A = this chain, B = another copy of it.
């Protein structure tokens, strides 16, 4: 048996111990994980410093170094996040429906852990602890395959977390760090269809496409977030401007940041110059179609690539549309099924926008930046799905469980009686 298969089997066996913990014991284990992280801070930060040195030597880009870097404040933030996960309601065992059938059998739908979740991600040590906590909270085993640049940090974090697991009577294998970081080993992990119940890739589009292409286990993913704001003719323009600025500039690197602004022709003449002024004050570059450029001096030209782009940067594509239908057509052609926003005063127009689009999150008069598990009330977020199966949009703890059937009877039979 290959080493990765053996690791995965051990994780699956250990996951049964996680699922069997009472809620209060599982929550106590998560709090102990937070304590262990802080207790091991010196060792974790020392390992992280080694990772950072090696990454610098390799010439890794500054943005990636920043995501890799831990310090006391960041570690405290991770520990706080673990305590927040501990405090969330336990999804395991929740009875979502109960029905007594005419023959007297009682049918319940009960949330149960998925089993084993494989997280595939880049060099972000905070994800190691976050994702582990969410998977364990939902009663699962977790296999963590992070980026090679973070391997020492991840090992040090796992060493700390494993103490908390073992104190709770859970085998350390329930939280398994993959140390063999060869691509072919990851591919083998992604093809363990009899062991791994779900793979969640998090990171750049290249990583996600690699996982989607090679996985034979189910994958929940999103490639990118090309989020639109459509400003209808009747929109409150101050409101629309707030949504635009918040959506574009508050965190341009987030997948729920706005990438394209669509403005109804009837208000473009008034709205676009204001929008350009407000965005430029935040350093945003605008790229528009001919109609938009005619209204805003100095605006660059938008190509088709611009309308498909997830800039993740202070750039926005702009287009003037003649109607709601034209806005919907644009979103259908260029959207990524992530998050779309309409600004309008007309509830019928809003409803038409909501119904016509199939995106995971559709917003009326609210910022695209609310497209986030915490903001939408999920308590935490393990990822975002634009796969229209199981979970669609931000995924919280419930998305790490599945509903099964529990039936209780008094000897009822279907066809043969007596």
Contact = CB atoms under 8 A, between A and B. Distances in A.
B364 A409 contact: yes
A355 B388 contact: no
A246 B403 contact: no
A408 B218 contact: no
B403 A101 contact: no
A394 interface: yes
A393 interface: yes
Contacts of A404: 358-362, 392-393
Contacts of A236: 411
Nearest to A239: B411
Contact of A412 (B99, B218, B370, B412): B370
A413 B114 contact: no
Interface stretch (A76-84, A143-151, A297-305, A371-379): A371-379
A5 interface: no
Question: Which of A242, A369, A371, A404 has the most chain B CB atoms closer than 10 A to its own CB?
Answer: A404
A87 B12 CA distance: 42
5 contacts: A105-B370, A107-B376, A250-B416, A366-B411, A392-B402
Contacts of A238: 411
A377 B106 CA distance: 10
Contact of A414 (B250, B394, B411, B414): B250
A183 interface: no
A61 interface: no
A179 to B, nearest CB: 27
A282 to B, nearest CB: 8
A302 B392 CA distance: 46
Interface residues of A, number: 72
B411 A242 contact: yes
Contacts of A11: none
A389 B193 CA distance: 13
A198 interface: yes
Contacts of A403: 391-392
A408 B246 contact: no
A418 interface: yes
* Chain A contact residues: helix, strand, loop or mixed: mixed
Given A115-B358, A243-B411, A417-B242, A389 B389 contact: yes
B366 A407 contact: yes
A410 interface: yes
A99 B416 CA distance: 47
Given A115-B388, A242-B417, A249-B416, A362 B411 contact: no
A350 interface: yes
B114 A371 contact: no
A328 to B, nearest CB: 11
A242 B413 contact: yes
Contacts of A128: none
A151 to B, nearest CB: 29
B363 A407 contact: yes
Given A355-B20, A402-B392, A366 B412 contact: yes
A376 B405 contact: yes
A112 interface: yes
A408 B354 CA distance: 10
A159 B275 CA distance: 54
A185 interface: no
Contacts of A366: 105, 407-412
A415 interface: yes
A48 interface: no
A404 B388 CA distance: 9
